[in-house]
Amino acid sequence: MRHFLTLADFSKEEILEILNLAKTLKNEVKSGIYSKPLAHKTLGMIFEKSSTRTRVSFETGIYQLGGNGIFLSSNDTQLGRGEPIKDTARVLSSMVDLVMMRTHQHSRLEEFAKYSKVPVINGLSDDFHPMQLLADFMTMQECGKDKNPIVAYIGDGNNMAHSWLMLTSKLGFTLRIASPKGYEVSKEILKKAESFARISGAKILLSDNPREAVAGADVVTTDTWASMGQEEQKDKRKRDFKDYCVDSELMGLAKSDSIFLHCLPAYRGQEVSEEVLESNQSKIFQEAENRLHIQKGVMVWLHKSR
Contacts with ligand CP, residue ranges (CB under 6 A): 51-54, 124, 132, 263-264
How many angstroms separate the CA atoms of 209 and 196, rounded?
25
Restricting to residues 89-128, name those near ligand NVA by CB under 6 A.
124
129 included as an active-site residue:
yes
Q: Cβ 216 to ligand CP, closest distance in Å?
A: 27
Angle at 135 between CA 258 and CA 6, to 5 degrees: 120
Choose, by CB under 6 A, the member of 163, 227, 258, 290 that binds ligand NVA: 227
Catalytic residue among 127, 223, 237, 262: 223
CA 172 to CA 204: how far, in whole Å? 10
Q: How far is the CB of 263 from ligand CP (least distance, A)?
A: 4
Contact 171, 133 (CB under 8 A): no
Residue number with CB closer to ligand NVA (158 or 273): 158
Active-site annotation holds for 237: no
Footprint (CB under 6 A) of ligand NVA, residues 145-174: 158-160
| Active-site position among 102, 176, 293, 303 | 102
Q: Which is nearer to ligand CP, 130 or 157 (CB)?
A: 130
Amino acid at site 50: S
DSSP string, 120-170: EEES--SS--HHHHHHHHHHHHHTT--SS-EEEEES--SHHHHHHHHHHHH
Q: Where are the beta strands (DSSP E) in 172-292?
A: 174-178, 203-207, 219-222, 259-262
Q: Nearer to ligand NVA by C-beta: 41 or 291?
A: 291
Residue 197: its H or E element: helix 187-200
State yes or no: is 291 an active-site residue. yes
CA neighbor of 284 nearest in space, from 213, 216, 221: 221
Separation CA 277–CA 267 (nearest Å): 10
Assess whether 90 carries a catalytic annotation.
no
Annotated catalytic residue, options 3, 53, 55, 132: 132
Nearer to ligand NVA, 70 or 228 (CB): 228
Q: Is 132 marked active-site?
A: yes
Instruction: Identify any residues that bridge with 220 across adjacent strands, giving them in sequence order.
Output: 152, 260
- Cβ atoms of 120 and 112 within 8 Å: the answer is yes
* Interface with ligand NVA: number of residues (CB under 6 A): 9
- By a kind-dependent CB cut-off of 5 to 8 A, residue 52 interacts, out of ligand CP, ligand NVA, none, with ligand CP
Q: Least distance from C-beta 264 to ligand CP, angstroms? A: 5
Name the closest residue to ligand NVA (Cβ). Answer: 227
Distance separating alpha carbons of residues 179 and 162, to the nearest angstrom: 12
Residue number with CB closer to ligand NVA (26 or 291):
291
Q: Is 224 in the site for ligand NVA (CB under 6 A)?
A: yes
Site for ligand NVA, rule CB under 6 A: 124, 158-160, 223-224, 227-228, 263
Just list the catalytic residues: 102, 129, 132, 223, 263, 291
